[in-house]
Structure 1
Amino acid sequence: MGPEGALTHIPRLRRYARLLTGDASRADDLVQDTLERACHKWSLWRPREDGSGLRGWLLSLMHNLYLNQVRDQVHERQAVELDEGNEPSHDPFLHTPERLDLEQALRQLNPALREVVLLVCVEEMPYAEAAQVLGVPAGTVMSRLSRGREQLRHLMDGGAPVQTRTPRLKIVK
């Protein structure tokens, strides 16, 4: 199977990208970047014995590209704030919308929680496959899913975003 096998996964990639970015044009750019990277790195993909795994590999590529883009945006924003001499704003409630719908609530979730909720609930991935896509243990996926669902319930009931700190984990060799 060649790169043309990825074409059947475009609708799922677009849906996942749209929910990650919250913007149709940024989502389309992310899908395009993902497919471009998949074509360049096609030799690295290894199908499973049952012939599956392409969807997970493509979603892993998209996940990593999205994280890179978010990281770059943070660095650019910090550079602009420093150039302008403005003090960075740390008010998490600055742009809280008056009325929440599911997409807005998803955008307010911590990115780590949002990614798990999207993969497991929207893309209907098993925990093990979502763990592989995100590069975390399956237990972490289950924990994040539980916290993400609870925060979504809270947000959909009209509550303010719950401030959770992302645990700083060290990679131990």
Structure 2
Amino acid sequence: MGQLPVMRRYARALTRDDTDAEDLVHDALVRAYERRGSFETERGAGGKGLRGWLLSVLHNVFVDRRRSRTAEARREAESQALAETVSAPAQEHHLRLAQVRDAFMALPEEQRAALHLVAIEGLGYAEAAATLGIPQGTLMSRLSRARATLRAIEDGAEAAAPTRLRIVGGADDPTR
């Protein structure tokens, strides 16, 4: 108890705040109690007296707290830098996807089947034609009409949707 004023003064000097100093003294006393066996060892080996040992514990608690706060601030700054601050609302994406799905489903069945096999499943023209049991020229004609219909729908909705619908696969696809 006689060391409390000394510990409080030192804690105020370290923290520059009365409330933080009291918290520091409390934490230092808890740590000192938990590690009271180390004081007995030091005293028996000609080490510091009680005052020096308590001030050493107080100083170590202060350093540990400062390191912890610095590390926490660094982690928070890193996580904020990594976190995307603005994300596109999911509603727009879902709405756009629903529009594309509705346009695709509005196609006649033979055009929808041809477009699905070529654009979504990635089949070549000959393979898609064989799958549907139709000549390759008929498949290409259905694809052309399906794409033209989707482009017409897209051109009508262009003012509402800033991105352009791109149908992949087939002769219109520059990557093929």
Q: Could you tell me the TM-score, scaled by structure 2's length?
A: 0.41
Q: Which has the higher contact order (CA 8 A, sep 6+)?
A: 1
As a proportion of its length, which structure holds more helix?
Answer: 2
Q: Could you tell me the TM-score, scaled by structure 1's length?
A: 0.42
